[in-house]
Amino acid sequence: MTRAFLSLGSNLGDRRKYLQEAVGSLGASMGTAVVAVSPVYETDPVGGPDQGRFLNLVVELDTDLTARQLLAACHRLESGAGRVRLERWGPRTLDVDILWIDGTTVAEPDLEVPHPRMFERLFVLAPLADLAPELVDADVMDRAQGQVHPAGHLEGWEPADG
């Protein structure tokens, strides 16, 4: 099993419900085990059109999936939430991105690991730092775009240690 981190966000509909259902779907049947779930943060959108605020969190997984298989699982979660891709960085019921997979680097047109913009976005770095502070440099956090506001924990999941 390999340690991996996913970023989940939602800014349409019942945002917490979409996050809860996605995290609940990340289980053994997908070749993954949820190790930890960060606190939830409410965030302003970064880039894209004018739209509502997001709820964001990061999930730590143990997985035996390859990066490509994990990407397919992320797309299945988004489809299950009824995500429609009309506009880049537009509003969405669920957005699931692979942030990091220990020991893995991928540079393909439709998949980059580590995520190419993760160190620019505070809505990714704040919850990632809650789970894996060794991956997040304080100077990088200070330069990241956006603002984050603590929004509690995802119901049914224990707060992350740290």
- Tokens representing 72 are 């397919």
Catalytic residue among 83, 85, 110, 137: 83
Is residue 68 annotated as a catalytic residue, yes or no? no
| From 62, 64, 85, 95, the catalytic residue | 95
Among the listed residues 92, 110, 139, 142, the single catalytic one is 92
**CA–CA separation, 132 and 122 (whole Å):** 14
The residue whose two tokens read 């980059």 is: 112
Catalytic one among 97, 102, 117, 137?
A: 97
Q: Which residues contact 115 (CB under 8 A, 6 or more apart)?
A: 7, 97, 98, 99, 100, 124
Examine the residue annotation and report whether 92 is marked as an active-site residue of this protein.
Answer: yes
List the one residue out of 7, 97, 90 whose CA is nearest residue 52: 90
Positions marked active-site: 83, 92, 95, 97
